[in-house]
């Protein structure tokens, strides 16, 4: 046959099935657009200046491509399922399967090139907008121009050509395995009825319960990272089994009740059993997509919300020099000379330097149980691990006003040599002594007026992990407790070769009259860095403004990526809902006409059908909410890595984004419901 015949027939088929092909091509176009935009962003100059941004954007390209493949394959399965009867008629009319393959090939080409064409147009129109949104949320200067060229569209065209080719081969295989009679009846079959109901029910409970257990038992970020993928895979598998088995199992139990034989309930329950058997995988997909949208948006939003607070807590002044984890623990001897050099560099660049603060303490990691310190591995995440900070009254003198410091000295006058002030976020029995090795040390709790100042000082780590700050009344007492702790650590080195002794940490903080990156001369920062490296203590320099800029760039890009992915999930969620409503409408129209013919009341039929439809689209929402609830512990631990220590922020973001997403879900449900009602009528 001539190629023109194949093309004309393919064009006619697409125009005839416009109500399903147009949404599918639209969703494919959006996927191509989003892939192209993400790929362009990953190759732009601004992201190349940051290793973190390169990794983030490349990750976004992979995720967009991966989920586009899944969604395009799902949409194609729906299309071919509704085409098999038509293809069966072609075989009855005399077309061979090779001719049908030719028609499908041209349909494949038309869908691909239309999707690519509209995807390219969308990339050109909305790429600049996405660029500006990214610049806005990340604080990146918008001097860089967005440029979309064929070289950036080429990867999308190749990747999506592979996706469409896989779909075409799948369609050929499906057609080749069916005879004409099967082709004519395949569209009525829906998804295969669930077999092995009890086994699948057991697997649903096992997988979902296993995923929930992994989430709840992830006690720290390391454990959360290890269990994240297994937990996600278990819950996804369990969700599919849930909709295929447990829902039908419960409905079958309802059939055994006497109330089942009332007209409305009889129609509703029997109809629900049929619907769940037919559309279980689609409903599971809706549930999983909803869960992904809610958790993704909540995570990236909560991280972005606390960015400024994290930097403010980390920097009590605008500039700082840090000296950490030095083995020799030799204290800086010429602090005055270092201060003078910093002031001199400021004068050189016409910058006033003030508010100097010198901080000194010993730091280490130990373990505590019932007021007894012992040694295990040095991981932050091991059970019972606690951060230890040791300092003296002389060390903390600079953070207290003179009157409060004098009051602290008065309180300390009556203290014995083996008694220490303690400040901790760990549950400690202050009435009992603290056991370190063979010695016991008495504890005295700091009063609230001192606690409020300590809370906002560098003597308290900005960390979600437990800490104990022990304050000695003089340097001799500080040496006493430090030696006991180091002796304990030395003895533990036989079991833990990487065991570290207490390390002296010194920091110097100050402010300048230049209070942002624009007013700080670049040479000032370079001179301070040179001074830090050349000093006897080998400090390293950091400033609040650059740290905030870097943090906002990363968190803003993370927010953009999360929103971008959530938008893609939402688009395909809407498409799945649309396909489901069409499928429900076509099937219900036939059943509606049959029930009318046997004399059933039309209002009763509509009421029962509407109840079934509502449950079909409410059930994924309810299961998604339960998934989010049990995923919260896992995500809360993962977010600790990003500095989000207040879980209330995550839950607030989850409620906010969840409410917004569910409103959108309801709106699109109403829109697709109108399509369903038109088909029924």
Closest by Cα among 307, 293, 298 to 137: 307
Identify the weakest region by mean pLDDT among 44-53, 109-118, 354-363: 44-53
Torsion angle, CA of 456/459/464/469, rounded to 10 degrees? -120
The secondary structure of 66-118 as a DSSP string is HHHHHHHHHHHHHHHHTTHHHHHHHHHTT--HHHHHHHHHHHHHHHHHHHHHH
Residue 526 lies in a domain: no
Highest mean pLDDT among 183-187, 242-246, 296-300, 403-407: 296-300
pLDDT tens, 409-466? 887 788 888 889 888 888 888 889 999 888 899 998 887 778 888 877 888 877 777 8
- Separation CA 202–CA 208 (nearest Å): 10
- Separation CA 32–CA 113 (nearest Å): 11
Residue 532 lies in a domain: no
Q: With contact defined as beta carbons under 8 Å apart, do 243 and 284 qualify?
A: yes
Instruction: Give the pLDDT of residue 141.
Output: 65
Is there a single domain that holds both residue 255 and residue 390? no
Is there a single domain that holds both residue 487 and residue 596? no
Residue 628 lies in a domain: yes
- Separation CA 426–CA 435 (nearest Å): 15
Domain count, the chain: 3
Q: Are strands 372-374 and 434-436 parallel, antiparallel or unpaired?
A: parallel
Is there a single domain that holds both residue 212 and residue 168? no
Q: 162: pLDDT confidence band, cut at 50, 70 and 90?
A: very high
Residue 104 lies in a domain: yes
pLDDT tens, 497-513? 777 888 888 888 999 98
Strands (DSSP E) found in 419-547 = 419-424, 434-436, 439-445, 467-472, 503-512, 540-543
Instruction: Give the pLDDT of residue 182.
Output: 56
Asked if the model's pLDDT at residue 52 lies above 70, the reply is no
End of a domain among 514, 531, 553? 514
Instruction: Give the pLDDT of residue 510.
Output: 92
Instruction: Give the pLDDT of residue 113.
Output: 93
Is there a single domain that holds both residue 175 and residue 227? no
Q: What residue has token string 């009157």? A: 403
Residue 156 lies in a domain: yes
Q: With contact defined as beta carbons under 8 Å apart, do 424 and 396 qualify?
A: no
Instruction: Give the pLDDT of residue 665.
Output: 86
Instruction: Give the pLDDT of residue 494.
Output: 74
CA angle 228, 627, 251 (to 5 degrees): 135
Q: With contact defined as beta carbons under 8 Å apart, do 478 and 360 qualify?
A: no
Closest by Cα among 212, 165, 131 to 556: 131
Q: 615: pLDDT confidence band, cut at 50, 70 and 90?
A: confident
The secondary structure of 12-57 as a DSSP string is HHHHHTHHHHHHHHHHHHHHHHHHHHHHHHHHSHHHHT-HHHHHHH
Is there a single domain that holds both residue 125 and residue 231? no
- Separation CA 18–CA 12 (nearest Å): 10
Torsion angle, CA of 633/636/638/639, rounded to 10 degrees? 170
The arithmetic mean of pLDDT across residues 361-384, rounded, is: 79
CA distances from 243 to 81, 109, 506, 591 (A): 21, 35, 59, 23
Residue 522 lies in a domain: no
Is there a single domain that holds both residue 234 and residue 303? yes
Is there a single domain that holds both residue 147 and residue 271? no
Residue 533 lies in a domain: no
Taking residue 96's Cβ as centre, other Cβ atoms within 10 Å add up to 11
Instruction: Give the pLDDT of residue 192.
Output: 52
Is there a single domain that holds both residue 286 and residue 367? no
- Separation CA 340–CA 623 (nearest Å): 64
The arithmetic mean of pLDDT across residues 245-259, rounded, is: 71
The arithmetic mean of pLDDT across residues 262-282, rounded, is: 67
% of the chain beyond a pLDDT of 90: 13
| Summary mean pLDDT of the chain | 81
End of a domain among 158, 173, 189? 189
Is there a single domain that holds both residue 50 and residue 176? yes
Asked if the model's pLDDT at residue 240 lies above 60, the reply is yes
Per the structure, the complete domain to which residue 255 belongs is given by 194-315+542-681
Q: Please state the separation of Cα 628 from the chain's center in Å.
A: 12
The arithmetic mean of pLDDT across residues 163-180, rounded, is: 81
Q: What residue has token string 């204290």? A: 331
Residue 408 lies in a domain: yes
Q: 191: pLDDT confidence band, cut at 50, 70 and 90?
A: very low
End of a domain among 189, 210, 239? 189
Is there a single domain that holds both residue 210 and residue 160? no
The arithmetic mean of pLDDT across residues 584-611, rounded, is: 68
Contacts of 500 (CB under 8 A, 6+ apart): 325, 364, 365, 378, 489
- Separation CA 267–CA 511 (nearest Å): 75
Q: 239: pLDDT confidence band, cut at 50, 70 and 90?
A: very high
Instruction: Give the pLDDT of residue 295.
Output: 92
Q: What residue has token string 């129209």? A: 589
Is there a single domain that holds both residue 618 and residue 671? yes
Global pTM exceeds 0.85: no
Highest mean pLDDT among 35-39, 132-136, 247-251, 639-643: 35-39
Instruction: Give the pLDDT of residue 38.
Output: 86
Q: Positive or negative, the Cα torsion across 47, 48, 49, 54?
A: positive
Identify the weakest region by mean pLDDT among 209-213, 226-230, 258-262, 406-410: 258-262
Is there a single domain that holds both residue 471 and residue 547? no
Tokens of 185: 């009846």
């Amino acid at each position: 046959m001539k190629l023109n015949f194949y093309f004309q027939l393919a064009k006619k088929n697409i125009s005839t099935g416009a109500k399903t092909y147009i949404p599918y091509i639209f969703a494919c176009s959006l996927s191509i657009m989003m892939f192209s935009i993400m790929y362009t962003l990953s190759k732009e100059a601004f992201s190349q200046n940051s290793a973190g941004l390169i990794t983030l954007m490349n990750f976004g390209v992979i995720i967009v491509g991966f989920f586009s493949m899944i969604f395009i394959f799902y949409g194609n399965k729906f299309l071919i399922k509704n085409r098999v009867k038509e293809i069966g008629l072609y075989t009855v009319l005399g077309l061979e399967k090779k001719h049908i393959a030719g028609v499908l090939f041209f349909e494949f080409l038309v869908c691909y090139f239309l999707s690519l064409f509209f995807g390219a147009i969308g990339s050109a129109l909305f790429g600049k907008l996405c660029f500006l949104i990214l610049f806005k949320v990340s604080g990146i200067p918008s001097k860089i121009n967005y440029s979309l060229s064929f070289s950036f569209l080429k990867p999308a065209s190749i990747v999506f050509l592979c996706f469409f080719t896989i779909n075409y081969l799948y369609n050929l295989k499906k057609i080749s395995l069916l005879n004409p009679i099967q082709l004519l009846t395949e569209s009525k079959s829906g998804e295969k009825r669930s077999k092995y109901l009890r086994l699948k029910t057991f697997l649903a409970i096992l997988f979902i319960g296993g995923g929930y257990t992994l989430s709840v038992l992830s006690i720290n970020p390391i454990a959360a990272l290890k269990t994240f993928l297994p937990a996600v895979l278990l819950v996804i598998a369990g969700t599919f089994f849930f909709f295929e088995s447990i829902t039908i199992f419960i409905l079958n139990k309802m059939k055994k009740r006497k109330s089942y034989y009332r007209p409305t309930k009889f129609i509703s329950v029997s109809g629900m059993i049929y619907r769940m058997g037919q559309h279980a995988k689609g409903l599971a997909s809706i549930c999983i997509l909803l869960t992904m949208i809610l958790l993704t948006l909540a995570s990236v939003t909560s991280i972005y919300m606390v960015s400024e607070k994290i930097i403010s807590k980390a920097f009590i002044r605008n500039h700082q020099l840090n000296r950490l984890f030095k083995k020799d623990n030799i204290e800086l001897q010429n602090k005055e000379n270092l201060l003078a050099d910093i002031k001199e560099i400021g004068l050189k660049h016409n910058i006033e330097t003030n508010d100097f603060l010198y901080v000194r303490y010993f730091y280490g990691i130990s373990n505590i149980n019932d007021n007894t310190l012992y040694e295990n591995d040095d991981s932050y995440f091991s059970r019972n691990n606690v951060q230890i900070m040791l300092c003296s009254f002389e060390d903390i003198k600079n953070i207290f006003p003179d009157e409060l410091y004098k009051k602290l000295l008065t309180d300390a006058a009556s203290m014995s040599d083996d008694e220490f002030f303690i400040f901790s976020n760990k549950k400690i029995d202050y009435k009992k002594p603290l056991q370190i090795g063979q010695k016991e040390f008495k504890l005295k709790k700091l009063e609230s007026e001192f606690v409020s100042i300590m809370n906002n000082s560098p003597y308290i780590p900005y960390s979600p992990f437990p800490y104990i700050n022990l304050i000695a009344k003089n340097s001799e007492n500080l040496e006493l407790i430090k030696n006991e702790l180091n002796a304990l650590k030395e003895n533990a080195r036989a079991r833990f070769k990487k065991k570290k002794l207490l390390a002296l940490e010194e920091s110097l903080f100050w402010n300048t009259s230049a209070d942002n990156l624009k007013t700080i001369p670049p040479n000032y920062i370079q001179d301070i860095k040179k001074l830090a490296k050349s000093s006897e203590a080998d400090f390293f320099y950091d400033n609040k403004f650059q740290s905030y800029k870097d943090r906002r760039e990363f968190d803003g890009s993370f927010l953009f990526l999360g929103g971008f992915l959530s938008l893609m999930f939402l688009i395909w969620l809407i498409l799945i809902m649309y396909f489901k409503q069409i499928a429900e409408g076509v099937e219900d129209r036939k059943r509606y006409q049959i029930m009318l013919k046997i004399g059933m009341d039309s209002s009763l039929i509509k009421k029962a059908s509407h109840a079934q439809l509502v449950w079909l689209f409410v059930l994924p929402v309810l299961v998604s909410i339960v998934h989010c609830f049990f995923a919260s512990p896992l995500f809360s631990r993962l977010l600790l890595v990003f500095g989000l220590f207040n879980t209330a922020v995550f839950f607030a973001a989850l409620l906010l984004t969840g409410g917004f997403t569910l409103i959108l879900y309801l709106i699109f449900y109403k829109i697709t419901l109108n399509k369903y009602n038109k088909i029924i009528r």
